[in-house]
Amino acid sequence: MESWREGKHQKRAEVAVIGAGVSGLAAAHVLRDHSLQVALYEREERVGGRATTRVRAGFCFDPGAQYIHGNAPASDALLLQRLATSELVAIAKPVWTFDSQNRIREGDPRQNALPRWTYRHGLLTLAELMARELTVYTHCEIARLAYLRPGWRLFSTSGQVVAEVPNVLVTLPAPEAAALMAASELPSELQQTLLAELGKARYRPLLSVALAWPRSALPPTPYYALVNSDKAHPISWLAREEEKSPERVPPAWTLLIVQLAPDYSRAHWSWDDQALATAATTLVSTLLGQRLPAADFYDVQRWPLALPEPETLLEAEALHRVSAPYGLFFSGDAFTGGRVHLALAQGEESAFRLLTSRR
C-alpha cells in the first residue's frame, strides 16, 4: 500500500478497482487468487471505507461499522483462516434493544448466539490485513474514465492518466459511482442506463458521536450495545467500546459510540461537534435513566452516505447485463446494505462475475 504520486510509473494491471473498502479488497483477493494483476485506487489516506477506526487522546474506537457477523462463509474464511490473527476477538456481551419510550429489553437470543467479531485495536485491522497482499494506491481519486474499445483509461482529478486496463470494478457508494459515470467518456446508451440504475439507490446520513467519561460515571451493563427496535428514537445504536476489548480505552475509562438516527442526523448535520456531543449526552442520559456530566472527551464522525435504504438496493444482474460486455463492473453496499460480512461476500461475487466474463 502506497500513496499515489502524479506521473508515477504504472505496473501493468488487468483490473483496476476503484475504492478500497472491504468490498473492493475482497474482490481484489479473488482476482489475485486467479492470477490477475490488480491495482486498487483509493481517494482517502486509509483503506476500509466505513469499516474504520479512529485513535484520539488514548481512545481507540470504530465510528462506522461496529463489528463483523460470524457464521457467514465469506467473512469466516477471511477472518478465521486466511487472515487469522490473535488480534481477532469475539464480543462477549449481547446486544439488547430499546424503543422510542426508552424501554430497554433483552435482545433476540438467536441473534445473540451468533459470533460478533472485531479486533483488539479496531475494525480497521481487517482492511489493513487485506491490503498487505495487494497493490493499493491511496490519495488517488479517479475522476473519470474513458472507454477505449476495448479497455479503459483512468484519469486523476488533475486530468493525468493514472492507468489503462482491460477491466474496471467500481466499488464506490452508488451516488459517487453515478457521478463518476456522468463525468466519464462512455457510449451514450451505456452511460444513460448506468445513471438510471445507479440513481435508484438512496442513502441515509449518519452522525456518529464518541463520548468518554471516567468509568465511575457509568456503571457496568449486562449488554455490549443497544439497538433501537422501532426506528422511532433519535439514537439508533449505542455501544461501549471497552466491551470489545479493554485495550480500546485507558484504564478506568468508558467510551460510548452513539450513532444517531437518519432523521435526527439530517436535522442536526450542521451543528458543531461540541453541540452534537452535548445533545448526544442528553439523549443517552434520558435513555439510560441517569444524568451524565459533560463528556471528558468527544469526537464526531459525519457519514453523508452511511447506509443505503433497504428498499432501494440495486439488482446486480440488471446492472451487469449492460456493463459487463464493456469490461465494467460494480460492487459495494448499494447491492447488499451496510453490513461488513455482506460487503465481503458481494465483493467476491463481483470478482467471480468479472472472471466469468473473461472466459
Could you tell me which residues come within 8 angstroms of residue 271 by beta carbon, excluding any fewer than 6 positions away? 279
Q: What is the pLDDT of residue 2?
A: 73
Query: Could you give phi then psi for residue 204, rounded to 5 degrees?
Result: -95, 140
Q: How far is CA 285 from CA 267, 269, 270, 280, 289, in A?
A: 20, 21, 23, 9, 6
User: What tens digit of pLDDT does each residue of 23-54 get?
Assistant: 999 999 999 999 999 999 999 999 999 999 99
Q: How confident is the model at residue 11 (pLDDT cuts 50, 70, 90)?
A: low
Q: How far apart are CA 172 and CA 50, in angstroms?
A: 12
Q: Cell for 152? A: 479503459
User: What tens digit of pLDDT does each residue of 171-228 get?
Assistant: 999 999 999 999 999 999 999 999 999 999 999 999 999 999 999 999 999 999 999 9
- Respond yes or no on whether the N-terminal peptide bond of residue 150 is cis (omega within 30° of 0): yes
Looking at residues 107-136, what average pLDDT do you find?
A: 96
Q: How far apart are CA 150 and CA 148, in angstroms?
A: 5
Query: Could you give phi then psi for residue 11, rounded to 5 degrees?
Result: -75, 145
User: What tens digit of pLDDT does each residue of 58-88 get?
Assistant: 999 999 999 999 999 999 999 999 999 999 9
- What residue type is 285 in one-letter code? S
Q: How far apart are CA 93 and CA 129, in angstroms?
A: 26
Q: Cell for 263? A: 432523521
Assess whether pLDDT exceeds 70 at residue 1: no
Q: Cell for 42? A: 483509493
Query: Could you give phi then psi for residue 175, rounded to 5 degrees?
Result: -60, -35
